[in-house]
Each structure stands twice: as structure tokens, then as C-alpha cells.
Amino acid sequence: MRRGIRWLPGLPPAAALAPLALTLAFTLAWAAGAELDRLPVPDREFSAFLRREGGGRPPSPGGGEEPAVLLDWHQARAYCAAQGKRLPTAPEWLEACRAKRLEFQSPIWEWTTTETDRHGEDAKVRFKLLCGPGPECSCTHAYHPNWRNEVKGFRCARGLPSVRLAPGSSGRF
């Protein structure tokens, strides 16, 4: 027995399997996917995050378990990053909404990372697409990332890489 290799009785030596390995050559292609939080981030959790990080915002009208609002895109992105997550893209949000994997407590628009062609006074700052409100499953509003109001909230996403087999250099599986 060689180190790291266990030979089983009746199986050919590894060299005999080499042609099979060439025939079965493949490459891995990574396709991005995401698992979105079922609920928008609650005000209670977001407020605690701001206290820890020294950030500020006007008092949220709902508070507690109601979705956090009156926050800008940068604050939403920072919160998700602190949780080891990120904001979803608009296509990810739409896919999760249409598959009924999202729950909605109130009709808020949710920040995404998807940029639009619109921009503010500073042409370098591109508007971000918002999805919602609630279970309408649409992403039709775009706002400056510094803007905030009583109907803009967010939920976080965790990236889920997936593997797809594709033909290797030989073009065969």
C-alpha cells in the first residue's frame, strides 16, 4: 500500500485508469447564486449595528421587528458585510421573490447592488435599483445611494457558488 492510495482487490492499477480519466476530462464552471434572507433586516438589529459602529440615522417610524428604514445604500451594504453577507442583485431578488422564498412585513422598497444608467448631479455616482414594494416582484425604482426615506429598507444575501460540469479540452465527457 502506498501512502495516500489504498489499493482494493480486483481493481486495476491507477495507470490502467489513465485513458478513462482522459475520456472523462471536464472543467468546472462556477455560476453565482444567492440565498436571500427571508425577511428584511429588522429595525432592532440594524439600530444595534449602528450603535456598535457609531453610525446614525433618524429614528425609524416602526422600530422593533418592523423592517429598518430611513437608511441609505451605504449603510445597508455595511450592515450586510458585517454579517458576512452582501446586498442582493436585482435579478437575485426577483428570482427569490417569484419563487416565493421571501416574506414581506410591509410595503418597502429594498436596496440592491444593481446599478442603473441614471445618475445624480455627480455623473460618477450611479443610481441603485430598488425592488418591491412588498411581494409585487418588480425592480422599477432607482435612487441615489445617499438618499433615504420611510419606504427604503433592505435584506441581505449570502452567495452560493454552484458547480456545473462542462467539456474539457478534449471536448468529451
pLDDT, tens digit, for every residue of 133-167? 988 899 999 999 999 999 999 999 998 876 555 56
| SS3 category, 113 | strand
pLDDT of 100 > 50? The answer is yes
Rounded Cα distance, 57 and 69, in Å: 9
The CATH number of domain 36-157, selected from 3.30.70.260, 3.90.1580.10, 3.40.50.1000, 1.10.443.10: 3.90.1580.10
More confident: 69 or 7 = 69
* Percent of the chain surpassing pLDDT 90: 56
pTM score of the predicted model: 0.73
The pairing of strands 109-119 and 152-153 is parallel
Q: Edge-to-edge, what's the strand order for the sheet holding 126-131?
A: 141-143, 126-131, 109-119, 152-153
Q: How many CB atoms lie within 10 A of CB 91?
A: 15
